[in-house]
Amino acid sequence: MKCLGLLCLLATGLSTLSVGAVVEGLKHKYYHRSCPQAEEIIANMMENFTSADQRVPARIIRMHFHDCFVRGCDGSILLNSTPVNKAEKDAPPNNPSVKGFELIDQIKEVLENKCPGVVSCADILTFATRESVHLSGKFERYQVRGGRKDGKISRESDALLNLPPPSANVQLLVQMFANKGLSLEDLVTLSATSDLR
């Protein structure tokens, strides 16, 4: 559980690192007028998911990490492959190890019923990650800015270039994390999510 605590600390900073979305235009209580229940809905659904499966927080944190590492925290990991494009989620660093896509889909479906076309998938994943940190039982719920726009590009090649391959040695892992401004401790913490999923 110590590892989950470290992972939660790291997740709180993902959106503000160089791998995160640009902070310009993002603000606290972004959906206050357009979809006032959005954060509460996400919180309640994440609590229900976690009650049913204690692995959910680690899975969502890992998904967020993999999303932010590629094109920034834009939700591009959630996009499906097409006949002419293999998406990030199907790249070897993500498939079959990243889990929980169906949970984000369920949250999106509920939010679409309440506030059609308002809450981005990128924000849903970011708020779900915040809830995952909170549900670890070690941290208070922290403020998260909203207003991320969903990425429209998702390529296997981008995931292969930016995410460590499953066969990466320590030297490559250290270098790839350093390229994103992350330390050796960050590497160990985020890599441990493989054991928690």
pLDDT at 6 over 80: no
Q: Please, which residues bridge with residue 27 across strands?
A: 146
66: annotated active-site residue: yes
Whether residue 96 has a cis bond before it, omega within 30° of 0: yes
Task: State how far the Cα of 171 lies from the Cα of 148, in Å rounded to an integer.
Answer: 33
- Does domain 2-196 correspond to CATH entry 1.10.520.10? yes
pTM of the predicted protein model: 0.85
Record the tokens describing residue 145, joined without a space: 């800015």
pLDDT band at 5 (very low <50, low <70, confident <90, very high): very low
State the pLDDT at residue 175.
Answer: 92
pLDDT band at 23 (very low <50, low <70, confident <90, very high): low
pLDDT at 9 over 50: no
pLDDT band at 16 (very low <50, low <70, confident <90, very high): very low
pLDDT at 139 over 50: yes
State the pLDDT at residue 33.
Answer: 97
**Active-site position among 28, 32, 66, 134:** 66
Residue 158 burial class via C-beta count within 10 angstroms: exposed 0-12, middle 13-18, buried 19 and up = middle
pLDDT tens digits along 63-113: 999 999 999 999 999 999 999 999 999 999 999 999 999 999 999 999 999
Lowest mean pLDDT of 10-24, 27-41, 55-69, 141-155, name the range: 10-24
Record the tokens describing residue 172, joined without a space: 């490559």
Torsion sign across C-alpha atoms 96, 120, 68, 41: negative
- Domain borders along the chain are 2-196
State the pLDDT at residue 11.
Answer: 56
Mean pLDDT for 38-47 is 98
- When the pLDDT of each residue in the chain is averaged and rounded to a whole number, the result is 87
pLDDT tens digits along 161-176: 999 887 889 999 999 9
